[in-house]
Amino acid sequence: MNGGDHLDFEIRPNPAPVAAAERAALIANPGFGRIFTDHMVTIRWADGKGWYDARVEARAPIQLDPASAVLHYAQEIFEGLKAYSCDDGSVTMFRPDANARRFRESATRMAMPHLPEELFIGSLHQIIKADREWIPTDAEGSLYLRPFMFANEVFLGVRPALEYLYVLIASPVGPYFPSGIKPVTVWVSDVYTRAAPGGTGAAKCGGNYAASLSAHAEAIEHGCDQVIYLDAVERKYIDELGGMNVFFVFDDGSITTPPLTGTILPGITRESLLMLARDNGLEVREEQYSLAQWRDDAASGRLREAFACGTAAVVTPIGRVRSVEGEIVMGDGGSGVTTMKLRQQLVDIQRGRVDDPHGWVHRVS
């Protein structure tokens, strides 16, 4: 096949798929990110050839040469989104076009080729078609889709690679928090920063997450669930959590979230919540908010709620904040009304339960 925006996918069904009874037992209680479907999608890219060899095939280990560029220079990006089984029997995805755009923007930052949106979304359709029976049908389940791309040229030199592999895998998942949504306690790191201006903070690349692991371990040592970062320049403004964006809800109903200045991942859930808040008539600000403001506003009662958001957990209330300077308690440490209202509205749209005023829901079948 010649490279281009449109490729026909070669379908190679898994000759030994998981038996129906075993599959049903697995998706009855899948956890998160531990069980995988029968198939994967692969597409290759080469300099001078473009995209080619698009396949749906049995999920299997990827063979890599020890000198593959990704293993040495970390040219890699990924995305995450979900497919949902709706009450009417249809399957939906939430804003896959937005994931396609962010995948392209991440590729630009990491000096990688652009996967056309048609191919990106087409690959999602292909794996859902191949593995539809893996989608949980309960109210909290979904099929987590993980597209990723990496440099697989065999070459030890510091330059953009000339060969890449795009892969899409799928994982049936249950709720991110099996015991229910509970406010988390976060640790403000005074040692680590997530990203600096001019860095890769706005790209969804594995290196950002690898760099967060030591900070996350620090948070666990302090009895916290997650780490929250301050900006890398002045070390006083809230940046984001290890893998989620942050929001603040005030006593007048207004909402603030840190602005996208290149150090924060432009979350699709973040953007959607901003739009939903405006739909509800709430004032929304994208502006810097310092740890000192957080402490003072929580103490005075001006700040009523705080929450984090992302694809996996959707919305997570923040109940307590710990740092070397002490602890901040949000209200009574519980989940806020505005936080949970916005979460429920978003979940209902994602699962096709209510009208979709912004055209976010993409029906697969």
At residue 2, the pLDDT reads: 42
Place of tokens 């940046």: 239
Angle at 206 between CA 201 and CA 211, to 5 degrees: 70
At residue 4, the pLDDT reads: 59
Residues 120 and 106: their CA atoms lie apart, in Å, by 14
Residues in CB range of 91: below 8 A, 6 or more apart = 83, 84, 85, 128, 132, 135, 363, 364, 365
At residue 87, the pLDDT reads: 87
Residues 310 and 78: their CA atoms lie apart, in Å, by 14
- How many other β-carbons are positioned within 10 Å of the β-carbon of residue 93? 24
Contact 237, 230 (CB under 8 A): yes
The pLDDT tens digits for 85-109 are 998 889 999 999 999 999 999 999 9
Identify the H or E element spanning 91.
strand 91-94
At residue 335, the pLDDT reads: 75
Q: Is the pTM of this model over 0.85?
A: yes
**pLDDT less than 50: residues of the chain:** 1-2
